Amino acid sequence: MKDDNNMEVPVTDSDLEKRLQDAVCVNESHLQHPWWYNLKYLLWGVVFGMVFVKAEIISWFRIQEMFRFESFHMYGVIGTAVVVGVISVQLIKRFKARTIYGETVVIHPKEFNKGQIYGGLTFGLGWAITGACPGPLFAQMGAGFGVVLITFFSAVAGTWFYGLLREKLPH
Partner 1 sequence: MIEILKQPWPWYVGGALIGLTVPVLLLMGNKTFGVSSSLRHICAACVPAGIPFFSYDWRKEIWNLFFVAGVLIGAFLTVHFLSDPDPIALADSTRTYLESQGITDTTQLLPSEIFSWEQVFTVRGLIFFVLGGFLVGFGTRYAGGCTSGHAIMGLSNLQWPSLVATVSFMVGGIIMTWLILPYLLTL
DSSP SS3 for 74? helix
Question: Residues 1, 12, 151, 168: which binds partner 1 (CB under 8 A)?
Answer: 151
Our finding on whether 110 is near partner 1 (CB under 8 A) is yes
Q: How many CB atoms lie within 10 A of CB 91?
A: 10
Interactions with partner 1, residue window 35-64 (CB under 8 A):
35, 37-64
CA–CA dist 75, 81 (Å, integer): 10
CB of 108 to partner 1, least distance (A): 7
Asked if residue 81 binds partner 1 (CB under 8 A), the reply is: yes
DSSP state of 72: S
Shortest Å distance, C-beta 94 to partner 1? 12
Tell whether residue 7 is a contact of partner 1 (CB under 8 A).
Answer: no
Could you give the C-alpha distances from 146 to 9, 45, 53, 59, 136, in angstroms and in order? 44, 20, 16, 15, 13
Identify which of residues 11 and 67 has a Cβ nearer to partner 1 in the complex: 67
The residue among 1 and 18 lying less far from partner 1, judged by its C-beta, is 18
